[in-house]
């Protein structure tokens, strides 16, 4: 499948809507709607719960209609250094995205367009590295970071997230570079441009849509990641997913506040999904489906 985002595969004309009732079409839609409810309901319940008081949350009978309260949000904003936590998440997310895309874009260009000894091995190693489990990294990272005496966990997170994301980014970007006509670079070289000028001035701008797709994935993974962030960050540098654990105590879960924090984590990726669903799907399928 090609990664042409501008023109999705032309689909056959939709089933013609005439006034005759067709049971097969009806059941088709019915099943799709039921599945949509299953997909959305848990997320919806999180938002709903974040607007409830603890009494309503703990009632045995689920309450669907109630007077919403913002007290959970007020609490997390006022008493949990919320601004700093959000800033940590944004900084780590943006840092990871920029580092991954620049390094990944350059590597993808070399792998897609240049011939050099070790090219095949390099490409395969990139793929292989995808399998490293974060739990395996957590142990040595904890030791190393202590040993290096670096207090600010955010720098560590950016490096480790970039490393974990690079294989996927490189892989995705290779596909985009392969679609850029090679003649463009030929012309630039004839005009006397060096390889770096060619890449940063000609190719880099043409990879915009590739970067857009890759950044959605990279940012989201950095934004959502929990285990490494839990180990590396401290009271001042913790990110949103780590902050949720503040509400999971031995005495029980402070559901309302945890759900409010959960909503804060979930809303940005959901918004991006509504804006760029097609690009996300293209990025997801690029790995497995190739023409």
Partner 1 sequence: MLKTLSDPRKYTAYIFLLPAIAILVIGLLVPLWNSFYLSFFDWDIGTPWESKEFIGLESYSRMIVDDDVYESVWVTLKYSFWLMLLEMIAGIALAFLLEKSIRGAAVFRTIFILPLMVSPVAVGLIWRYLFDARSGIINYYLEYIGEAIPFLQNVGFERQLWLASPDLALTSVIITDVWQWTPFILIIILAGLQALPSEIIEAARIDGANTLQTIFFIKLPMISTIILVTFLMRLIDVFRALEVIYILTFGGPGLSTQVLSLHIYKTAFTSQQLGYASTISMLLIAIMLILSVGVLFYQDPLRERTA
Query: Under the criterion CB under 8 A, does residue 50 sit at the interface with partner 1?
Result: no
CB of 87 to partner 1, least distance (A): 18
Cβ closer to partner 1: 84 or 134?
134
Query: Under the criterion CB under 8 A, does residue 254 sit at the interface with partner 1?
Result: no
CB of 4 to partner 1, least distance (A): 8
- Which of 22, 66, 197, 285 contacts partner 1 by CB under 8 A? 285
Tokens matching residue 29? 């839609």
Give the binding-site size for partner 1 (rule: CB under 8 A): 123
Which residues in 232-251 contact partner 1 (CB under 8 A)?
Answer: 241, 244, 248
Residue 161 to residue 96: CA distance in whole angstroms: 6
* Distances 20 to 17, 28, 260 between C-alpha atoms, Å: 8, 15, 47
Rounded (5°) CA angle 269-274-279:
85
CB of 115 to partner 1, least distance (A): 5
Query: Under the criterion CB under 8 A, does residue 217 sit at the interface with partner 1?
Result: no
Query: Under the criterion CB under 8 A, does residue 30 sit at the interface with partner 1?
Result: no
Tokens matching residue 117? 């000894």
Query: Under the criterion CB under 8 A, does residue 95 sit at the interface with partner 1?
Result: no
Cβ closer to partner 1: 67 or 131?
131
Tokens matching residue 90? 């944004």
Query: Under the criterion CB under 8 A, does residue 288 sit at the interface with partner 1?
Result: yes
According to DSSP, the residues that pair with 252 across neighbouring strands are 249
Tokens matching residue 269? 């990726």
Phi and psi (nearest 5°) for 169?
A: -60, -45
Residue 217 to residue 222: CA distance in whole angstroms: 9
- Which of 30, 70, 128, 201 contacts partner 1 by CB under 8 A? 128
Neighbours of 243 (CB within 10 A): 25
- Which of 77, 102, 202, 246 contacts partner 1 by CB under 8 A? 102
Query: Under the criterion CB under 8 A, does residue 213 sit at the interface with partner 1?
Result: no
- Which of 71, 81, 179, 209 contacts partner 1 by CB under 8 A? 179
Which residues are CB-neighbours of 233 under 8 A, at least 6 positions away? 88, 153, 154, 157, 239, 242
Tokens matching residue 243? 């902050």
Query: Under the criterion CB under 8 A, does residue 141 sit at the interface with partner 1?
Result: yes
Query: Under the criterion CB under 8 A, does residue 138 sit at the interface with partner 1?
Result: yes
Rounded (5°) CA angle 270-89-97:
80
Q: Which window, 68-76, 77-85, 205-213, 272-280, contacts partner 1 (CB under 8 A)? A: 272-280
- Which of 109, 215, 219, 232 contacts partner 1 by CB under 8 A? 109
Q: At what angle do helices 255-286 and 71-79 cross, to 10 degrees?
A: 90
- Which of 51, 211, 223, 279 contacts partner 1 by CB under 8 A? 223
Cβ closer to partner 1: 77 or 102?
102
- Which of 6, 13, 121, 190 contacts partner 1 by CB under 8 A? 13
Give me the 63-82 binding string for partner 1, x by CB under 8 A, dash otherwise.
--------------------
DSSP code of residue 236 = T
Residue labelled with tokens 């980014």:
169
Return the CA Rg of the chain: 24
């Amino acid at each position: 499948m090609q990664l042409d985002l501008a023109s999705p595969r032309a689909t056959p004309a939709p089933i013609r809507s005439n006034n005759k009732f067709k049971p097969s079409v009806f059941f088709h839609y019915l099943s799709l709607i039921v599945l949509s409810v299953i997909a959305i309901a848990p997320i919806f319940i999180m938002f709903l719960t974040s607007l409830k008081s603890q009494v309503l949350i703990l009632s045995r009978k689920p309450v669907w209609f109630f007077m919403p309260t913002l007290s959970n949000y007020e609490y997390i904003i006022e008493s949990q250094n919320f601004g700093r936590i959000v800033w940590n998440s944004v900084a780590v997310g943006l840092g990871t995205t920029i580092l991954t895309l620049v390094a990944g874009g350059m590597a993808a260009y070399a792998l897609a367009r240049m011939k050099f000894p070790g090219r095949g091995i390099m490409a395969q190693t990139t793929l292989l590295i995808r399998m490293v489990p974060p739990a395996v990294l957590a142990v040595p990272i904890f030791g190393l970071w202590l040993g290096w005496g670096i207090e600010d966990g955010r720098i560590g997170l950016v490096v480790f997230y970039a490393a974990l994301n690079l294989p996927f980014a490189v892989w995705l970007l290779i596909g985009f570079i392969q679609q850029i006509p090679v003649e463009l670079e030929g012309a630039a070289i004839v005009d006397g441009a060096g390889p770096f000028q060619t890449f940063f001035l000609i190719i880099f701008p043409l990879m915009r849509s590739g970067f857009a797709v890759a950044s959605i994935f990279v940012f989201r993974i950095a934004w959502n990641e929990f285990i490494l962030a839990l180990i590396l960050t401290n009271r001042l540098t913790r990110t949103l997913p780590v902050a949720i654990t503040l509400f999971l105590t031995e005495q029980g879960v402070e559901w309302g506040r945890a759900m409010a924090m959960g909503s804060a984590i979930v809303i940005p990726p959901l918004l991006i999904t509504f804006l760029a669903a097609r690009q996300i799907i293209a990025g997801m399928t690029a790995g497995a489906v190739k023409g």
